[in-house]
Copies of this chain bind each other. A is one copy, B any other.
Amino acid sequence: MKKFINDVDLVEEQMIQGMVKAYPQYLKKLDCGNVVVRAAKKEGKVALVSGGGSGHEPAHGGYVGEGMLDAAVAGTVFTSPTPDQIYEAIKEVATEAGVLLIVKNYTGDVMNFEMGEEMAQMEGIQVEHVITNDDVAVKDSLYTVGRRGVAGTVFVHKIAGALAEQGAALPEVKAAALKVIDNVRTMGAAIAPCTVPAAGNPGFTLSENEMEVGIGIHGEPGTHRDEIRTADDTADLLLDQILADIDYTGSEVAVMINGAGATPLMELYIIHNHVADVLKDKGIRVYRTYVGEYMTSIEMQGFSISLLKLDDQLKELLDSKADTPAWKEIGGKIHG
């Protein structure tokens, strides 16, 4: 295992410390474990809390800041944070407007976030949650009942976060989050695995000509293994399954081409070149495109495609000001 780390037992702690030290204008870390909150608490708004296992950076700490999250709770790599951590995060950021938890659909995450939620509710804090499940690759997986929550989760952060920042009430913010969840679909593929530091070895192996189609963000199996194809053909494999799940014809969409960690922008742009052409051919109008690393799998070589069907509300919220380490929008005008 060749990595720039110091000690496998200190990876999460040193990573979070390094992030918070880089962005003191946005972030501070709670003493009770790897919980990151906004440097300055904003009262009177619905507080948004997300999180999950580490290894998906910049998710979720990178999305803490104005117009997105209020707190992010980080477990050890690919492992759910504990209910205690989640409870501490909720308690720290809670306001009288309530708290919304945004949870990716993995059994451990759902269980622990619900326990944290109940602990906070017992103290009289108003908390609700939504569960993201955008991955069309598999129904019920290694760690999931139902579809997995993957990169589309970041659209939930952005859109629910924008509405919360405007002062909307908890039911409205939750409804917007659910609207994103209903309208976003994702699928990914990988050509090389990642190594969890504490494990020391890659989570799976692929031969020189193989790729995993429909892979999960922890390297879980997807729909099948296939011979490696061109970027265009690989993108088609994923797009076909996304487009079979929701009819996007005639709609406006946001597109995310998300890198898994070790796939360079060069390749993500080449993939996008084809995705843009296919969507145009199918009469799907692209409103905004995001190409980069939004929800990674340490240093996996792979990518995912997400499509989010938009309406006027979602478009306005997507373009609203955001000021976080990993997602910034100038806001105040609609470009393009």
Contact = CB atoms under 8 A, between A and B. Distances in A.
Given A19-B291, A25-B336, A265-B58, A4 B298 contact: no
Given A15-B266, A22-B269, A269-B22, A234 B329 contact: no
A313 interface: no
Contact of A269 (B3, B57, B192, B263): B57
Contacts of A62: 265
Interface string A289-313: 1110100101101010000000000
A330 B321 contact: yes
A185 interface: no
Query: How many copies of the shown chain assemble into the complex?
Result: 2
Interface residues of A, number: 68
A22 B273 CA distance: 8
A5 interface: yes
A281 B24 CA distance: 18
Interface stretch (A93-101, A137-145, A224-232): A224-232
Given A22-B276, A57-B264, A266-B57, A208 B2 contact: yes
Given A22-B269, A208-B2, A289-B21, A299 B262 contact: yes
A291 B4 contact: no
Contacts of A18: 268-274, 276, 291
Contact of A270 (B6, B25, B192, B323): B6
B276 A21 contact: yes
A201 interface: no
A4 B303 contact: yes
A241 to B, nearest CB: 17
A309 to B, nearest CB: 18
Interface of A: 2-7, 11, 14-19, 21-26, 39, 54-55, 57-58, 62, 191-192, 208, 228, 230-232, 234, 255, 257, 261-274, 276-277, 289-291, 293, 296, 298-299, 301, 303, 321, 323, 328-331, 335-336
